[in-house]
Amino acid sequence: MSQNSIILKLVSLPISIILICLGIMTILGGHITPGGGFQGGAMIASGIILSIIVYGLGNSPLELSHTYIEVLESVGALGFIIFGLIGLLVGGFYLYNVGTDVLNIVPQYIQNIFHYPDVTNAGIIPYLNIFVGLKVFVGLTSIVIAFAGFKKLTEEGE
Amino acid sequence: MLNLGPIIFGLILGLLIGSQIKFKFGDNVFTLASLIIVFIAGIIVAWQSGNFPFYTDLQISTGFLSALIGIFAGNLIFARSK
């Protein structure tokens, strides 16, 4: 599946690194600018997919192990659910923004715990973006790894 | 005013992903000099992005820059060998 072009092999890893950084930047600005967890996660995945396509599945510099994918996928899903349950327990609504507290029903010390350190007072939204970004990034990457693996198996079988 | 949120979480996400990168794979080797060039190119991209996303802090994208530093630091600290 890998490409034989030397130029592609030279530029793909640097472009992948820049794409990953752009994806992280998109995730971290998701609460005040266009973008967010899904878009940023898809951009990170695109960086990894680029290197898998160019260098091949077994030879890629950016290849995620099964355990790594499993752990990040679980952390993403569990983090989202835990933040939702915290809102349910403290504020009475699932995914209630305990860091901002629009309804003034959350104690101040809990608000301070979930306050995101920036000027926008966004509460838990950036944290949710980060969890969604992690989940989307490993989800999309694992799909491509699976497809590349199937293709490799088919080519070996022929 | 400097916002700490993108710096902290950009570094964490960069460390997470940087731990999975190899710079010596198959016949290809990315030397230290080429990585420095990639780092400088990343700084230029961060500079051209402006003060995204808050528009009130430094004239450089802090989230991008901390992610870049996190990727290289994660590769140095946690890199897997094959």
pLDDT digits (tens, 9 = 90+) for B31-77: 999 999 999 999 999 999 998 888 888 899 999 999 999 999 999 99
Q: What are the C-alpha distances in Å from B77 to residues A140, B17, B37?
A: 26, 12, 20
Quote the pLDDT of residue B56. Answer: 83
**Cα three-residue angle A83-A87-A88, rounded to 5 degrees:** 115
The pLDDT, as a whole number, for residue A1 is: 61
Q: How many domains does chain A have?
A: 1
Rounded CA-CA distance A77/A152 in Å is 30
Cβ burial of A58 (10 Å; 0-12, 13-18, 19+) is: middle
- Please list the rounded mean pLDDT of every run of 10 residues in chain A (158 residues): 83 95 95 92 96 90 92 95 94 91 90 87 92 95 93 83
Mean pLDDT value of segment B12-17: 95
The whole domain housing A100 covers 6-157
Nearest chain A Cα to B28, which residue?
Answer: A9
Query: Quick one: pLDDT at residue A118?
Result: 82
Q: What is the pLDDT of residue B81?
A: 58
Residue from B8, B12, B16, B17 whose CB has the most chain A CBs within 10 Å, to mutate = B17
H helices of chain A, in order, are 6-28, 37-55, 66-91, 108-113, 125-157
Q: How confident is the model at residue B80 (pLDDT cuts 50, 70, 90)?
A: low
Which residue, among A63, A73, A84, A70, has the nearest Cα to A135 in the 3D structure? A73
pLDDT of residue A126: 94
The string of pLDDT tens digits covering residues B18-40 is 999 999 888 888 999 999 999 99
Q: What is the DSSP string of B30-51?
A: --HHHHHHHHHHHHHHHHHH-S
What pLDDT does A121 receive?
A: 85
d(CA B27, CA A59): 9
Distance from chain centroid for Cα B7: 11
The distance of B81 to chain A (nearest Cα, Å) reads 11
Element (H, E) at B12: helix B4-18
Q: Give me the pLDDT at residue A42, please.
A: 97
| Residue B33, pLDDT score | 94
- Give the one of A17, A44, A120 whose C-beta lies nearest to B38's C-beta: A17
Best mutation target, A1, A6, A25, A59, to test chain B (most B CBs within 10 A): A25
The predicted model scores a pTM of 0.93
Residue A1 belongs to some domain of the structure:
no
Write the ipTM. Answer: 0.94
The CA distances from residue A107 to A93, A110, A113, A153, in Å, are 15, 6, 10, 57
On whether residue A39 sits in a domain, the answer given is: yes
pLDDT at A117: 84
